[in-house]
Structure 1
Amino acid sequence: MAPLLVGLRARKGKEVPARRKERYGKTTLSRPSGPLIWVHAASVGETNAVLPLITQITETGTQVLLTTVTVTSAQIAQKHLPKGAIHQFVPFDIAPFVNRFLDTWQPDMALFVESEIWPYTLSELNNRDIPMIVVNGRMSERSFRRWSRFPSVFRQMFGNVPLCLAQTDEDRERYANLGVTQVEVTGNLKFDVPPPQADEEQLQRLRAAIGSRPVWVAASTHPGEERLLAQAHSRMAVRIPHLLTIIVPRHPERSEEIVREMIGIVPRVQRRSEEPDLFPKTDIYIADTIGELGLFYRLSRIAFVGGSLVNHGGQNPIEPARLGCTILHGPSVSNFANIYDALDQTGGAQCLNNERELIQTLARLIASPAEIDRRIELARRAMRPFSGALDKTMMALNPFLEPLKINAELNRFNSDDPSI
């Protein structure tokens, strides 16, 4: 079953064929000597959030093995991991694969980022007395209700967790109610991640192509949103000549599907992966490339953040807020509820419930640069109180990291001195 699943995922671009054996716990690499921390981050957001923490851990002299699930997160990891850290795809949560993975890497400790729950893996970590700590922990209301139906199962997996570092008070309460005994609130690591970079040459090239055209970006969009956004563009274009809409789908491999959805709605749709140079008469520019979100946030001062007009829970609004965008979003924002609350309450963001509200708000903002300036500053102010999670997380982890370093130093000393 697992090879069939990997094959299907590979055909959809969701696996790297040359590295598919890693999903079975196999590797071509060797375990580094000394203490090794296994860090697991599922996808792009979690990977970006934990990279600064990995850097700080490696600076202490401890090696890090980072595992991820998605191809995109693997590409980001390989590009940005510091010296002393290596990447592998996480094995399927099946006994032979997990056991092979743990036998090979023998981690001294595991850090699981946000809300990743792998039943067999957690059970086997317990069996091997490998401490597992949750960092940047998040427990949504939906997940809490689901696990509340199986409290004994959750306690079996998390009962021996020595520490859970939660993002918010709400997350702490949910973990505690499910039986995790030691829970601390350290904040959200995503606030301490540097804003995504942009290639300066590409930025200037696209700015020149856009010129004076009114432009807005819809980022991290999900199925069901792109068609609605195209319809909104079509109606706005009647009132706003030369309007350019940039759509950055959450999953770039969906770009062909997105283009098909827009047939008959807008006359000119362009895919960046096929035609990177923006044409003067393009209506909607599909930014279906990897690692360029920072580029597109810098091209527009208005950003709609996706996953919020469909029942997904919303995507991360921190990056556009820090890169000088006023933020628009739909009502489904439970994944980042406290952040959106802060943004909405200050006026740095606005919730839009339907296509009509989206059109009205965009038209008003495009006609009022001063209003955009005001909202951008309010968004930046709303973000300031949330920083500091990285330092708090490292302080909480230090009592676990220090013994590893001391043991490693003792082992080196004993191996170097045969008289002991």
Structure 2
Amino acid sequence: MSDGLPGATPLLRIYRGATRGLAPIAGFLAMRKLARHGVSPTRQRERMGHASLPRPDGTLVWLHGASVGESLSAVTLVSRMAAALPDAEFLITSGTATSAKLVEQRLPSRTRHQFAALDAPGPVRRFLKHWRPTAAIFVESELWPVTLRDTRKTGAKLALVNARLSTKSVESWSKYPETARSVMDLFSVLLTQNSEMATHLRKMGAAPDRIRPGSNLKAFSAPLPIDGAALAQIRQQLAERPVWVASSTHRGEEEVVLQAHRHLLNPRPDLCLVLAPRHPERGDEVSRLVHDAGLSMSRRSHNESSEHGVQVYLADTLGELGIWYALSPIVFLGGSLQPIGGHNPFEVARANAAVISGPGVQNFAETFDALKVSGGAIEVSDAPSLAAAVDRWLTDASSLEQARAACSTLAARQDSALDGVVETLCRALELNDG
């Protein structure tokens, strides 16, 4: 049975039927996952399309980002769109408990957060019936056919921003060109990070006149929030000791960081490493790695002090990266020594810190290239090269200041580009301040 939209292909109709049948099982699993993270039953039901907040009156712009990085990009975009659309209200959706917590810590005015409805007819219908979005903006790679088609069917215009699809994903979609083109036709505008992604979208059937050059939204990330009292307390405990930070690390990276730190302690026995794993729930696992490395440690999640010369301060909490970046201008950014793709260097740059990373930063390739050329970033490959990079900036204050200045300059250049993104979206989605 057709879903009523022109261009629905047999494959899309099969997918729609399958998701309808699987929705109860998928909903149970999704809600159970949120429950494990302490999410209330009321909010768990948002995954099935049951809203937990009222819809505001007037224009409502909906932005969706699947996980942490995408949803924080949505926060950044809302912050700027709100200035351009003073009478509009905003809704941000995401799928994970971690993203929800971080978004809610940074919600701009006139904005609320909900968990995204599952991509199935029932949940999507309930979501749209309640929220009735005026326009919808999807961040990066969220191409959920039921959600996209049913939202477009309501008359809302759609945009894809920060478009980032893997080569594998593009190849998969390209096997079904009619279906891919049908999905691409739902978007009024597609903003790409680079020319390669524009080529991918054209290959998937996107109309060339709807593809616009954009920028990596993560380049526009606002400065991270800082708890001033907590920062002052930790600074007092550290008592002027030298500090470096390893943040957003993944399994397989902490061992390299700890090995580098042991090497750095030889000439600097008072040096402290702030180690902030990407997923704080790995705190116990990372704690064992520190113990196995023979290093003394205190844990943020246990409210343990960083006094008495502890060699590693395990920052296994969520939403406090701003504190750690304020403690030290030297930051190793994880997700780059393992095949992760790297994490957002602009959060580091906007904190006036310099960046060290591994070679695996393809998700931010253009950004890291510019940072390395300007001297704001150093690429390392193993523990010895990481130790050498940290040692260089600990030893040469002039070199470190030049690197910090390069990072700050690159971050500052993004503001005018974000204004262009907002202008393009408002025009393509026919939004206005009235």
Alignment counterpart, residue 26 of structure 1, candidates 50, 56, 61: 50
Q: Which runs of 5+ in 1 are unaligned?
A: 407-420
Distance 1:246 1:81 in 2: 27
Alignment counterpart, residue 99 of structure 2, candidates 73, 86, 106: 73
In structure 2, relative to structure 1, the CA distance for the partners of 1:263 and 1:150 (3 Å cut) is farther
Q: Percent of aligned pairs with the same residue?
A: 34
In structure 2, relative to structure 1, the CA distance for the partners of 1:223 and 1:8 (3 Å cut) is farther
- In structure 2, the partner of 1:199 is 227
Distance 2:327 2:109 in 1: 33
1:385 positional shift: 4.0
1:174 positional shift: 2.2
1:302 positional shift: 0.7
- In structure 2, the partner of 1:342 is 370
Q: How does 1:113-152 map to 2 (within 5 A)?
A: 113-152=139-178
- Asked if structure 1 preserves the Cα contact closer than 8 Å seen for 2:34 and 2:97, the reply is no
The yes-or-no answer on 1:39 pairing with 2:63 is yes
The yes-or-no answer on 1:162 pairing with 2:188 is yes
Q: Which deviates further from its counterpart, 327-336 or 137-146?
A: 137-146
1:35 positional shift: 2.6
Report how many aligned residue pairs link the two structures. Answer: 406
Q: Which amino acid aligns with 2:55?
A: R
In structure 2, relative to structure 1, the CA distance for the partners of 1:379 and 1:83 (3 Å cut) is closer
1:16 positional shift: 4.5
- Asked if structure 1 preserves the Cα contact closer than 8 Å seen for 2:65 and 2:138, the reply is yes
SS at match of 1:66: strand
Alignment counterpart, residue 373 of structure 1, candidates 401, 409, 413: 401
SS at match of 2:112: strand
Q: Which amino acid aligns with 2:296?
A: R
The yes-or-no answer on 1:222 pairing with 2:245 is no
Q: Which amino acid aligns with 2:226?
A: A
Distance 1:21 1:29 in 2: 12
Q: Which deviates further from its counterpart, 161-170 or 295-304?
A: 161-170
Deviation readout 1:337-376 (Å, 9 max, x if unpaired): 1000101112211111122211222223222222211222
Distance 2:303 2:34 in 1: 25
- In structure 2, the partner of 1:184 is 212
- In structure 1, the partner of 2:14 is none
- In structure 2, the partner of 1:10 is 34
SS at match of 1:239: coil
Deviation readout 1:50-109 (Å, 9 max, x if unpaired): 224324444431222211122232223333333432221101222221222122222222
1:405 positional shift: 6.1
1:4 positional shift: 4.0
- In structure 2, the partner of 1:99 is 125
Distance 1:15 1:294 in 2: 25
- In structure 2, the partner of 1:391 is 419
- Asked if structure 2 preserves the Cα contact closer than 8 Å seen for 1:68 and 1:88, the reply is yes
In structure 2, relative to structure 1, the CA distance for the partners of 1:235 and 1:341 (3 Å cut) is same
- In structure 2, the partner of 1:48 is 72
Q: Which deviates further from its counterpart, 344-353 or 261-270?
A: 261-270
Q: TM-score, normalised by structure 1?
A: 0.89
The yes-or-no answer on 1:354 pairing with 2:378 is no
- In structure 1, the partner of 2:7 is none
Q: Which deviates further from its counterpart, 338-347 or 381-390?
A: 381-390
1:333 positional shift: 0.3
The yes-or-no answer on 1:272 pairing with 2:300 is yes
Q: Which amino acid aligns with 1:324?
A: N
Q: TM-score, normalised by structure 2?
A: 0.86
- In structure 1, the partner of 2:261 is 233
SS at match of 2:247: strand
- In structure 1, the partner of 2:237 is 209
Q: Which amino acid aligns with 2:349?
A: A
- Asked if structure 2 preserves the Cα contact closer than 8 Å seen for 1:219 and 1:249, the reply is yes
Alignment counterpart, residue 247 of structure 1, candidates 275, 279, 292: 275
Distance 1:293 1:109 in 2: 32
1:310 positional shift: 0.4
SS at match of 1:298: helix
Distance 1:209 1:150 in 2: 60
Q: Which deviates further from its counterpart, 14-23 or 174-183?
A: 14-23
In structure 2, relative to structure 1, the CA distance for the partners of 1:12 and 1:367 (3 Å cut) is farther
In structure 2, relative to structure 1, the CA distance for the partners of 1:95 and 1:401 (3 Å cut) is closer
Deviation readout 1:10-58 (Å, 9 max, x if unpaired): 3542744441111111123332232322211223322332224324444
1:213 positional shift: 2.2
1:173 positional shift: 2.6
1:252 positional shift: 1.3
Distance 1:344 1:150 in 2: 40
Q: CA RMSD in A?
A: 2.4
Deviation readout 1:134-185 (Å, 9 max, x if unpaired): 1232334454344444444322222221101222233223222322211111
1:278 positional shift: 1.4
- Asked if structure 2 preserves the Cα contact closer than 8 Å seen for 1:14 and 1:70, the reply is no
- In structure 1, the partner of 2:9 is none
In structure 2, relative to structure 1, the CA distance for the partners of 1:176 and 1:389 (3 Å cut) is farther
Distance 1:14 1:305 in 2: 28
Q: How does 1:396-411 map to 2 (within 5 A)?
A: 396-400=424-428, 402=430
Q: Which amino acid aligns with 1:119?
A: P
Q: How does 1:286-365 map to 2 (within 5 A)?
A: 286-365=314-393
- Asked if structure 1 preserves the Cα contact closer than 8 Å seen for 2:250 and 2:338, the reply is yes
1:256 positional shift: 1.5
Deviation readout 1:275-311 (Å, 9 max, x if unpaired): 2531323221111222211111111111001100000
In structure 2, relative to structure 1, the CA distance for the partners of 1:300 and 1:382 (3 Å cut) is same
